[in-house]
A and B are shown apart, each in its own frame.
Chain A
């Protein structure tokens, strides 16, 4: 491959395929596009020359770098493209022109954004991900989804505006528009930081995530889970590596979703909270900023995209077959959906970082880096969060969906294409997590594509030491033990155990009473805060309406009278200014 093709950003291939898919009414052709485009883009990525500006452009007097591959963007784009292909397989049964088109464009925009090295083009693709992804949410067709989609859009467009504005401020301070390492301090940098933070689900900026994702379409949620937030993680790694405040932000992000996830009944929403918690691990690692930590963040992002997709896909399959993901209405599905159950368990084991699964080799990198840099309290918070992950994603999700009390539902196994997609994701989860029996296989392969693969600490890093395995197994065994206890007591008839909060016995015994308590306080305080906020905003709205509406103050009165007076007032003002300003 040479010449022109080398200079095309692989993301644009996906966007173009998305445009074509939008114009194609024939499902077969669209299937070809959704499957083919990621493969083509993947080939382009693998053959691309590294560390040179492959495509540049000049617009509005700015030099824009549209396509430049380096090791950091490579691993994110690689994960994105693999996820894009798996998603295409997963959504193969889906006959929606608009959804295919928007999903492709959305994935393309995220991929393209990874290669942009100036804020203008980053902003364009940043906004494109927001606009296209909205369709994936509101196409599920419910009123709630529509409203959530609009809230989502508003917040994400706002993020884009902040990004652009901050970037321009930076430009006028430094004369440099390129995406590079930034130090917090200037207002422009702060705005960019917040813009990234919205997409990365920083505390208090995260609400859109658990709001919108569970309401999206079956296939839409899977697509959404992989891209938006990881793009933000990439952007943070690119610009704010080593920013210490990120360690704390990330640590808080890992902890608080645990409370929400534990009390939540909708399993897709549990996964969304858990997604937010996982992002915390990556943000935290970026905050540490050492090569080892950044490797950890990138590895975690890669594995996370795979196992999170896998979990969302399995829940999507459940939703597709039963019409619900409410924990109270599910249970016992393993009888008729054995394959989905197995894949979900693999995803659960990966996210809980069981040895031999991908989560183990990626999470331990960042945990070691954090400990090595001397952040004790964040490290403890992350440890607590790891236990929480196991609780809500590792045990709760498979247990309530596939085991637990028998809901009496006997759905068919998921469609073949869904199983295929889940199988592929599960294969990666296991394949990446295996010990390197041969050089270049198992975790060795993952480590070799990390941004700082030559970093001596990473080269010598060996996840499968007795020490690591023991620490991790202690944590895991404790939680598994708790579940065994629950089973053994058996004092809870299945009908009642259908409610999630039942597990509170486990929490209390393990000292997690706090978690339960915080969760319920949040649950009670939430509506109160909401209604207070609603009251204030309703009052503000009526004030504004009284002033500005067609019946309002500003529009009332004889026009000519008031305007003539205004003219006189303005003339007086102009005269005063002319006379007295010296």
Chain B
């Protein structure tokens, strides 16, 4: 399969994939703002661009995996050699995230049209797609770049576009506006913290290239400036990743933004921030620094566990399906952070595995909810009563996502939770493993409430019947739902990617 991709790919794609994957949406985004046709053409461009980016990501995956242990692709922007020029650096870790982001973007943008048509004013649609592509580009850039300051630029680009996207939800629900402002304020604090941290590192080492930073940091070691920089970066990226208790921007942003944006962000935005965090924790810094080990054990692990418990409880008491899912997302981020905080290859691999799987399950869940919003105009649990009979296809996919979220065997969620519990037990953290199991029980409760309403309660409004979501929405939804089952039954491929990614950090790490 991988060899076949390499044979099929044209030479220019292989040579310039790291740059093209970011440049394509960067150029197409502004262009699509000026497209006529009430957004229809802009949508076509978006689907095309995301499809191309997915192919490019596949090409890079094939390139990285063509070498035993994973190759590293270094691409010097504009021919300026690193560490002075900006370097895009693709290895087993970020190629996984690139593929995840671009394929989720592709699937969501296919399904997006019916919901955009319903939720966004005609004259704003082209702009919306422009903003979406910039956001998409920013996320890819954060993932691909090997330069700490460049990462900040992409992070801000994607964030600013995201604020716009969230605010455009005001057409459906005015509460999107305060949610966007809140997100803007918090996101800006997070980004500033990050850039302050990078500033400290630059002051201490005089370089911004991550690989170069790692080398120079070895020399300066336990310098105060380095420690302060580390703290700022940890908190800044933690905020972007919705680390508890810095997650409070997330539930509102996810609840009130357009359905399409929610589905995309839930599956990608926090994941990219977690990737950046992992990159800094294990590539730039390493466990050799005492302060990092301590931060993992004293900050990441407790915060992850707190998220798993507090946000699961919070999800139980929500009345709105999207808010339930949003709080559950924060709880799931807790699982990933817990996996990462173990600080072993198995732990990081379990965290990354759960990251991918969570994108699959939350993508499916939010897409199904988007279908409900489209046909029933309601997001309360109450509104979903009895939909199992009137919209069986949408709701069966929703149920698959829900089971996966709970962690039922033969779904993706089971595989990654299993990997996480294994990693925890292997390191002797059996108490944390118990908490993982307990918070899975909480997930049974909060998803069970929704499933109970959907499948066992009589319909809320018996007049509205037999309305399935449109085919354009069902196809990507079912692709994701089946992906959950595929990973659940045969998790080897995705788990292999996650393991390779973790190995790349721990063996090829600091270089």
Contact = CB atoms under 8 A, between A and B. Distances in A.
Interface of A: 60, 123-124, 127, 146, 154, 157-158, 161, 165, 168-169, 171-172, 187, 544-545, 547-550, 552, 554-555, 559-560, 562-564, 566-567, 570-571, 573-575, 577-579, 581-582
A368 B154 CA distance: 79
B317 A550 contact: yes
A548 B441 contact: no
Contact of B313 (A123, A154, A161, A544): A544
Nearest to B440: A161
B1 interface: no
A550 B248 CA distance: 12
Nearest to B291: A578
Contacts of A554: 310, 314
Interface string B323-357: 10000000000000000000000000000000000
21 contacts: A60-B415, A60-B418, A123-B409, A154-B444, A169-B430, A172-B426, A550-B319, A559-B252, A563-B249, A564-B186, A567-B189, A567-B239, A570-B299, A571-B193, A571-B231, A573-B299, A574-B235, A577-B298, A578-B228, A581-B298, A582-B290
Nearest to A160: B409
A244 to B, nearest CB: 27
Given A169-B425, A169-B430, A574 B299 contact: yes
Interface in B150-201: 181-182, 185-186, 189-190, 193
A168 B316 CA distance: 28
Given A127-B409, A550-B319, A577-B295, A570 B235 contact: yes
B421 A564 contact: no
B121 to A, nearest CB: 27
B228 A570 contact: no
Contacts of B479: none
A570 B232 CA distance: 10
Given A157-B444, A165-B421, A548-B317, A124 B409 contact: yes
Given A563-B246, A573-B299, 12 more contacts: A169-B430, A172-B426, A549-B318, A554-B314, A559-B248, A560-B181, A560-B182, A563-B245, A567-B189, A570-B303, A571-B235, A577-B291
Contacts of B39: none
Nearest to A172: B425
B425 to A, nearest CB: 4
A555 B294 contact: no
A552 B310 CA distance: 12
Interface centre among A544, A566, A578 (most CB of B within 10 A): A578
Contacts of A562: 248
B231 A578 contact: yes
B291 A570 contact: no
A123 B410 CA distance: 12
Contacts of B388: none
B77 interface: no
Contacts of A60: 415, 418-419, 491, 495
Interface in B213-256: 224, 227-228, 230-232, 234-235, 238-239, 245-246, 248-249, 252
A374 B385 CA distance: 60
A248 to B, nearest CB: 28
A334 to B, nearest CB: 40
Nearest to A60: B418
A564 B437 CA distance: 32
Nearest to A541: B317
Interface string B267-307: 00000000000000000000000110011001100010000
